[in-house]
Amino acid sequence: MELFTKTLFLCLAFALTNGAPAPPPDAAVDDPSLPDRCDGSEFDAITPDEKGNTFFFKGSHLWKGFHGPAQLSNESFKELDDIHNIGHVDAAFRMHNAENPDDHDHIYFFLDDKVFRYYDHALEEGYPKEIQQDFPGVPSHLDAAVECPKGECMADSVLFFKGQDVHVYDIATKTVKTKTWSHLPVCTSALRWLEHYYCFHGHNFTKFHPVSGMVSDAYPKDARRYFMKCPNFGHGGNYSVLKCSNVKIDAITTDDAGKSYFFAGLIYMRLDTSRDGLHAFPITRSWKEVTSGVDAVFSYTDKMYLIKGDQVYIYKAAAHYTLIEGYPKTLKEELGIEGHVDAAFVCPDAHAVHLIQGGIIRAVDLTATPRAVTRTMPMSLSNIDAAMCSAEGIHVFKGPTYYQYQSAMILAVSRIAPEPHNVTKAMMGCEE
């Protein structure tokens, strides 16, 4: 629980308004012999490794992560040096091929007409190869590359960029379809980040749809405001540190894919525990119909339920959340209850949602039609902000404190609340 809580409140400390990672403050880079990406570098390639560490390449140097000084590429990938005639890489990507563990999560680097494949920072036997040996039909001298899993693309694919042509390589069939996206800037590098796709050009980046290439009107944006920590740029243009006494979570849930979501005001934060770290976004970025925040959220059978006032919004938990036709509906129609909902949670492998309303907790059978309350129990706590059930038990959040219970029944029958845990500066870097 201690690790969970530290992670949660670190996330809340970075209440941002744009979709990008939240790096800690960066130390000054005093070595003039090293390139400084805050000068406006145009990256040659960007790729995460199998552990989720993101590498930005420029010439013979790279940056590991979103802050910190440059280092020689051959310190992390020893074959990327002058002995092998690799002064820079043209493109790079992390393979997504879950059906083939021998390929999945391996990193591919492209230089001229050669491809290099790494796993755990070690060059694999038989490499480098001609690009067409591994990727028939893909041209040489690429500009950028990025993986595109099935569900985001039609099949597990790789997008290879050369000029304004995009070569879509189907991993299973080893076939290529070529598109021309003249409306997209020429990408010198590309990155998939939390199911969204970014084309980097100069010191800017543009978000695009991986199937249509469609670009929103809000782009391009300066990468120095979002994908790195640079002096005088700010992070997302709106970085602030919360006071510990002001921490307040509106809702929290974990979906069937293991992704955790924390909601606070108009912002939601997502934590992927295995890779990619902490991120903060406007709620409308993923759930565009929910424009005024949420009261409670829970996940069940690959769907996410967002409750605001007397309305329930249900979204399919696909690559990008889609509101189910006919929603929102009222709480009475969907869950058989009325009144304000303070918090909601569903325990793993359970088929009932527990809804907290004031000092009352109600269980609703999600398999029943129509859904109706099956149990109503009083609680010793009231004015709850959020709650979540996991293998660790029930976590109940109330302002800048949280409580832990072993089960929903214990939460309901306990007459005395357990010792609360307080948010501190040491936990989240907030201002006390």
Buried b (16+ CB within 10 A) or exposed e, 80-102: beeeeebeebbbbbbbbbeeeee
* pLDDT over 60 at 36, yes or no: yes
- Looking at residue 321, its pLDDT comes to 86
Q: What's the CA gap between 105 and 67, in Å, rounded?
A: 23
Distance of alpha carbon 380 from alpha carbon 186, whole angstroms: 60
SS3 category, 115: strand
Q: Is 88 annotated as a binding residue?
A: no
Q: Is 235 annotated as ligand-binding?
A: yes
CA gap 337, 349 in Å, rounded = 23
Instruction: Please write the tens of the pLDDT for every residue from 9-33.
Output: 334 433 333 344 444 444 444 566 7
Strand partners, 166: 161, 179
Band of residue 272 on the pLDDT scale cut at 50, 70, 90 = low
Would you state the pLDDT for residue 280? 65
DSSP codes joined into one string, 170-183: ETTTTEEEEEE-TT
3-class SS at 374? Answer: strand
Write out pLDDT tens, residues 210-235.
Answer: 999 999 778 999 998 888 878 777 55
Domains recognised in the chain with CATH numbers: 23-225 (2.110.10.10), 244-428 (2.110.10.10)
Asked if residues 124 and 106 have their Cβ atoms less than 8 Å apart, the reply is: yes
